Structure 1
């Protein structure tokens, strides 16, 4: 599983999240909601994982 090790990784992860969200919208516009459903499901799973990693990193950083 992907782990954020420093602030630069955190920023890259936030950029990945933003990119996935934009890509979901582009695919939906190009292929319609029905045909883009599988991609959206996969991308949302990745977004969730990245958001969890950011949350974990932020919590660990606050403890130190």
Structure 2
């Protein structure tokens, strides 16, 4: 199962897409980031920003993102 999200704002003119994939039997969350367009130098780092409530098994992204369909 894969979900694709887009940051609602641009970064140096670039759109940022985030892909999160869950695979049956895999105990990890796979994620991929893709910058489309834009111009300039950008320093990036890996900092997962997911949270969940102990009584709710769904994950919630905490960045301002929109779902791409």
Superposition TM-score, scaled by structure 1 size: 0.23
Greater percentage in strand: 2
Greater percentage in helix: 1
Work out which structure has the larger RCO, using CA pairs closer than 8 Å and 6 or more positions apart in sequence: 1
Superposition TM-score, scaled by structure 2 size: 0.22
